[in-house]
Amino acid sequence: MILDDFLFIDDNGIYCKYGCFYLDPKIPVATAVISHAHADHAVSGNNIVYCTASTRLFMELRYARYAARTFNVMQFHQSFNIGGVQLTFIPAGHMLGSAMVLMEYNGIKYLYTGDYKLQPDATCEPIEWLKADVLITESTFADPAINHPDPIEEISKLKDTKINIILGAYGLGKSQRLIRMINDHAPQKKILVHHRIMPINNIYEKCGFALGNYQLYGRKLMKTQEEWVYLVPPFTFNSYIRATNARRFFASGWKRLQVNGEDTLFISDHADWNDILEAVRQVGPTQIWTLHGHGAHLRSHFGKDIFVKLLA
């Protein structure tokens, strides 16, 4: 029987009282299961953290000795037990090391997706599917109006731009995907990387994910007009608002208004409406519990076929 209170949200985050652990807690807790290293899922200061090997490396890079008191690193598909609940990490395809969390308890399978995507991405483990009774899905883009475009076509916007480019993107995950995509689909571009992004690239390469060609940014390099793409994190991007002789792009899963010649590369690392429907087909749940976003659209879409509960 599906336990309606298997997971619920309290002040710290998503709690499983049957195993006494949190999934991606917002506030440091005693036992945290962390799906991936993005800051809104992986906070510092937890006592015990269960995560994948690359998630640990990213957390240690960001938080140093405050990353966690103890890390329990688990391989994908390696089952482990917390307080009587059996857990297994399954690749989520969102960024390097990102995991869905399968929880099995009293013969029922609960699958927490964390953030996930279906689009191909050569810089992380591809998403894998399995059957579960309850699908606990992020629903950031669970809106029939949201349809992510082909990322390769978006990258082509860079190819068509014959002046230097300042490309803003989140440093962890998105930046590495972009470097790989520019190498594969716009190889005439030369990539310069902001120094804050370099140590993240190093972790990717250490984990066996080659990113292709790029070099550390140097001020003198960009004085020449050689189809440079300078990849910078968002805070630096904003400081280039008056850049002349360069065109600004920001890579984002959110449609943005065009401001001052700043264009968007609409490249998302999340599931859009059709991807979420595909996830439901693959997992075959009898219940869907939704997190962050638009659960109501899923509820009206599935009607009486699948019970949809809005967790948050």
Nearer to Zn ion, 58 or 266 (CB): 58
Stretch that binds Zn ion, among 2-10, 18-26, 66-74, 109-117 (CB under 5 A): 109-117
Amino acid (1-letter code) at residue 281: R
Q: Which is nearer to Zn ion, 38 or 248 (CB)?
A: 38
* Backbone φ and ψ of 279, nearest 5°: -60, -40
Q: Quote the Cα angle for 262-40-271, to 5°.
A: 65
Per CB under 5 A, does 174 bind Zn ion? no
Query: Pick from 35, 39, 26, 53: which is nearest to 103 by CA?
Result: 35
Q: 186 or 253, CB closer to Zn ion?
A: 253
CB of 178 to Zn ion, least distance (A): 15
CB of 217 to Zn ion, least distance (A): 25
Residue pair 49/37 in contact by the 8 Å Cβ criterion: no
Report the nearest approach of Zn ion to the CB of residue 173 (Å): 7
C-beta closer to Zn ion: residue 180 or 270: 270
What SS3 state is found at 300? Answer: helix
Least distance to Zn ion, CB of residue 57, Å: 16
Q: How far is the CB of 95 from Zn ion (least distance, A)?
A: 6
Contact 226, 262 (CB under 8 A): no
Chain residues 111-150 in contact with Zn ion, contact rule CB under 5 A: 115
* Nearer Cβ to Zn ion (18/50): 50
Q: How far is CA 113 from CA 34, 116, 158, 182, 294, in A?
A: 11, 6, 32, 28, 15
d(CA 105, CA 103): 7
Site string for Zn ion, 6-45 (x = CB under 5 A): --------------------------------x-x-----
Residues 256-295 close enough to bind Zn ion by CB under 5 A: none
* C-beta of residue 59 within 8 angstroms of C-beta of residue 199: no
Rounded to the nearest whole angstrom, what is the least distance from the CB of residue 117 to Zn ion in the complex? 9
C-alpha to C-alpha distance for 71 and 32, rounded to whole angstroms:
10
Binding site residues, Zn ion, CB under 5 A: 38, 40, 115
